[in-house]
Amino acid sequence: MSRALFVLPAILVFGVLKLPTERALASQHRQSHFAGAELDLDLREKVGQLSFVAALSGFRAVLADFLFIQAHVAWERTEWGRVLLLFRQVTALQPHVTLFWDMAAWHMAWNASAAAMNDPSQPRLALRVKAQREYFAIGKDFLERGIRNNPDNPKLYESMARLYREKYNDHARASEFFRKAADCPGAPSYDQRFSAYELSYCQGWESQAYLQLRRLYDEGERERLPTLIERLKYLEAKLNIPKDQRIRER
């Protein structure tokens, strides 16, 4: 006992000495996104007491995977409320995994919304459409929060662009998000093309779309893909581009 009492002050002194180093390192971890989830009361409310303890004990990633698999099972059973709840937990635990945000948005905006539109228990079309739009909004919210947590990852911008294109039919916003994806480091080359394609569908933006598509076309054979040529020809006709400035027939 006396030995332990003798060591305790030494450990306390060591504790005081290590404190600034620990704080500085924790701060650097946060700056470099190594404190993935904020282990606070908000997270505890989302994941429950037991899961919170597990997350706090270094099993955050494994717990997130376990909940993700549960969400997958809930999706197979078309339990949409449970899918939403589980994906909120998963994304709260692992906010830097873009895959989870993407999957959550896809389940809500595509699967749950389609299920709501085809819900046989709801005879009124207006209410089915309302439910469908609510699921679109939930999917969009997942993507917005995912982008806030991962601003340099092109994947979520691409998903947001697809959401605007396919669910909101908003080609201008779709083009904007494909352009944002193209600006991210390591973005695939198709993002620039897709941004221009989407712009070519927007009323009043034909000239800008034409310039973008033409610039891509002039980059060489690599960019001269069938859709690009088709959209370019459509815009050339619409904008009455002089014959000598048009692209060559293939």
Partner 1 sequence: MIERAASSRGTLTASATNLEHRAFSFRSSCGRILAITTNTLTELTRQKVFYVLLIFALILIGSSIFVAKFTFQQEFQILKDVSLGAMSIFSSLLAIVATARLISQDTEDRTIYTILAKPVPRFEYLLGKLSGVLLLLAISIAAMTVLFVVLLYFREQVVLGETVRQLKNVPPEQLNEALNSIRAAALNIDIFAGVSVILLKACLLAALTLLVSTFATTNIFTVVVMVFVYFIGHFQATAREYWLQQPQTGWLDRGFLALVALIFPDLQAFNLVDDIVAGVAIPMTIFMKTMALGFFYIAIYTLAATFVFYRKEL
Q: Tokens at residue 113, please? A: 């919304």
Residue in this structure with the two tokens 């909004």, named with its chain if needed: 137
Three-state secondary structure of 49-111: HHHHHHHHHHHHHHHHHHHHHHHHHHHHCCCHHHHHHHHHHHHHHCCCCHHHHHHHHHHHHHH
Q: Is 97 one of the binding residues for partner 1 (CB under 8 A)?
A: yes
Choices 1-9, 118-126, 162-170, 231-239 (CB under 8 A): range interacting with partner 1: 1-9
| Given 89, 91, 113, 153, the residue binding partner 1 (CB under 8 A) | 153
CB 143 within 8 A of CB 108: no
Q: Closest approach of Cβ 171 to partner 1, in Å?
A: 23
Which residue shows structure tokens 């947001």? Answer: 160
23: contact with partner 1 by CB under 8 A: yes
Least distance in angstroms from the C-beta of 16 to partner 1: 6
Rounded-to-integer distance, Cα 178 and Cα 191, Å? 5
* Choices 66-74, 80-88, 160-168, 206-214 (CB under 8 A): range interacting with partner 1: 66-74
Residue choice 60, 88, 140, 180 for contact with partner 1 (CB under 8 A): 60
Q: Does 26 bind partner 1 (CB under 8 A)?
A: yes
Q: Is 169 helix (H, G, I), strand (E, B) or coil?
A: coil
Number of shown-chain residues binding partner 1 (CB under 8 A): 51
Q: Which of 38/119 has CB closer to partner 1? A: 38
Q: Does 188 bind partner 1 (CB under 8 A)?
A: yes
List Cα–Cα distances, 147 to 59, 69, 84, 140, 201, in angstroms.
24, 23, 18, 10, 25
- Residues at the contact surface with partner 1, assessed by CB under 8 A: 1, 3-4, 6-8, 10-12, 14-16, 18-19, 21-23, 25-26, 28-29, 32-34, 36, 39, 53, 56-62, 64-65, 68-69, 72, 94, 96-99, 103, 153, 188-190, 222, 225
